[in-house]
Amino acid sequence: MQLAPQTWRVVYSVCGTVLFNLGSVVFCSVTKVLLPRVVGLRTLFGVASGIMLLNVAGRYLQFVDDNVSNKT
């Protein structure tokens, strides 16, 4: 990424954001079909999967930040 022009860095960032957000929507839509029609269970699953996705994304960003700060 360091060699990419500033414009492309922004494009890559926006692309990653869109893929993350739309990917989570598709994930929830597909798993909704697989779960039984119990509102409490679906709600719990939605909240848990959202927390998991945010945790993974946060760990990824922290990893990237740590590696960038070590190289500069």
pTM of the model: 0.66
Q: What is the pLDDT of residues 25-61, one digit of tens each?
A: 888 888 899 999 999 999 999 999 889 888 887 887 7
Q: CA torsion sign, 29 to 23 to 17 to 10?
A: negative
Domain boundaries, the chain: 6-71
Q: Is 5 left (phi over 0), alpha (psi -120 to 50) or beta?
A: beta
